[in-house]
Structure 1
Amino acid sequence: MVSNNLVLLGLGSRTTTYYLGELNAVYNKKNGDYSTCPLLVYNVDFNDVNSLLPNTSETLDGLVQGYLKDITSFKADAIIIPNITLHETVDRLHMDSEILHPLHLTVDKLKQHNCNKIVLFGSLYSMTSDYISSYFKANIIDVVLPSENDMAFIDTVRKEVYNGTETSDLVKQFHECIARYAAIHPVVLGCTELSVLNPKNNENIIDMAQLQIDSAIDKLS
């Protein structure tokens, strides 16, 4: 059995492929030559999970607990779950697995920069539920939400990315929307589909997915 490795839980094809691409890109940038990120992918049927999201439930608990127990057999040093909302379920399980938790990583990043106010971009559920905002507030970080119209637009972007149907005009509008808010406060991207469209040229954008990826590569070094 391989040890000292990274395991990626394979969920939706678009976001899982995104994580794989970014992990390889960051690893190669750090190590050069023809290096690619050494990792294992534990792929599951995302339909089983997605049909239960975004709400927590005992059924979803059981599914995720089963996945994580299977993954422990790989003796992973770190696990990436490429779905921000699913971490609410992970938190309910209180497992000992070394999960690269996007909320923990984001708060650490914000504290490093003495940032105490952010704008949250995510799914409509993530922006309006207490899960992410309450964690930030518990760490003395205020959460500002986009306007109702912008939240509806952001959620539309998320759905289009998931379906692979986003247009160049939609991407341009999304980037303009991010820029407007990032000019006032740091914008936290709390949805993997939105991370796919992260412009990556604005230092006032904090991407939860990218923090997971960077942390994983650091652990492999």
Structure 2
Amino acid sequence: MEKVALSILGLGSRTTSFYLSELNELYNKKHGNYSTCPLLLLNANFNTINSLLPKPSKALNKVTQNYLTTIGKLGAKHILVPNITLHETIDGLEGNIGILHPVLLTIDRLKENNWSKIVLFGSIYSMKSNYINTYLSSTGIEVVLPTETDMVFIDHVRKEAYAGTESKTLIKNYHLLIKKYSGNYPVVLACTELSILKPLSVENLVDMAQLQMEQAIKVISVKKTV
């Protein structure tokens, strides 16, 4: 059996399905015919992890570490984790080599485009905590937050997307909010549920999940041609 270069830690059902679908589409666009993305999926019990999120803790560290250790034993060199918030915990663990890190990839993309100020969309926790803000500010990128009312709405969009109960009206208002904020500075999506419902025609939009998946296709395609 050919060794697989990419692994995914399966978490929420909808977000994991989203990653798998997008990866297959990206891989097929690159390699054609009936190509599907070769990967290993380790499906975690997300109920356990989700109950411990968002803040790092000894309990969350232990559970996450066990999954990363298992993935390491499977031999894949690159790891995708379809939950942006969980990377705060992963940063402090052993066995995090090979993580396709959404925040670091975002910094690279912002630097490529000479963007030094962004608006952050994510969960309430991600927007208000220091984790992403500290990463970006340490590289000279200023983070602007939506208004308190808009942050509450963005978090509501996240919850509806997670539950699969979003309405057309909710999606429309979400897209209008992105359009409003992206008129001044690039909007960075730091939540996979927000990525699922994102508009497809906004130029100043940086999607952390999309950057992860694009990088995954790059690294395994390089592996494929060696």
Q: Distance in 2 between the 1:139 and 1:95 partners?
A: 25
Question: Is the contact made by 1:2 and 1:75 (CA closer than 8 Å) also made in structure 2?
Answer: no
Residues 149-164 of structure 1 mapped to structure 2, 5 A cutoff: 149-164=149-164
Question: Is the contact made by 1:72 and 1:97 (CA closer than 8 Å) also made in structure 2?
Answer: no
The yes-or-no answer on 1:16 pairing with 2:16 is: yes
Per the alignment, residue 90 of structure 1 pairs with 90
Q: Distance in 2 between the 1:52 and 1:111 partners?
A: 33
Per the alignment, residue 141 of structure 2 pairs with 141
Deviation at 1:122, TM superposition (A): 0.1
Residues 1-221 of structure 1 mapped to structure 2, 5 A cutoff: 2-221=2-221
Q: Distance in 2 between the 1:148 and 1:216 partners?
A: 34
| Aligned AA (1:46) | F
| Aligned AA (1:190) | A
Runs of 4+ in 1 over 4 A off after TM superposition: none
Deviation at 1:96, TM superposition (A): 4.7
Per the alignment, in what secondary structure is the counterpart of residue 73 of structure 1?
A: helix
| Aligned AA (1:85) | T
Question: Is the contact made by 2:123 and 2:154 (CA closer than 8 Å) also made in structure 1?
Answer: yes
What 5-or-longer segments of structure 2 have no aligned partner? 222-226
Per the alignment, in what secondary structure is the counterpart of residue 158 of structure 1?
A: helix
Q: Distance in 1 between the 2:4 and 2:51 partners?
A: 33
Deviation at 1:213, TM superposition (A): 0.2
Q: Distance in 2 between the 1:209 and 1:96 partners?
A: 18
Between 1:87-96 and 1:67-76, the stretch displaced more is: 87-96
| Aligned AA (1:200) | L
Identity percentage of aligned residues = 56
Q: Deviations over 1:124-145 (max 9, x none)?
A: 0000000011110011100000
Q: Distance in 2 between the 1:88 and 1:28 partners?
A: 31
Per the alignment, in what secondary structure is the counterpart of residue 91 of structure 2?
A: helix
RMSD: 1.0
What 5-or-longer segments of structure 1 have no aligned partner? none
Deviation at 1:50, TM superposition (A): 0.2
Deviation at 1:92, TM superposition (A): 1.1
Task: Report the TM-score when normalising by structure 2.
Answer: 0.96
| Aligned AA (1:216) | A
Q: Deviations over 1:160-186 (max 9, x none)?
A: 000000001100000000000011100
1:9–1:183 distance in 2 versus 1, CA, 3 Å: same
Q: Distance in 2 between the 1:66 and 1:90 partners?
A: 11
Q: Distance in 2 between the 1:94 and 1:105 partners?
A: 20
Equivalent residue pairs, number: 221
Per the alignment, in what secondary structure is the counterpart of residue 92 of structure 2?
A: helix
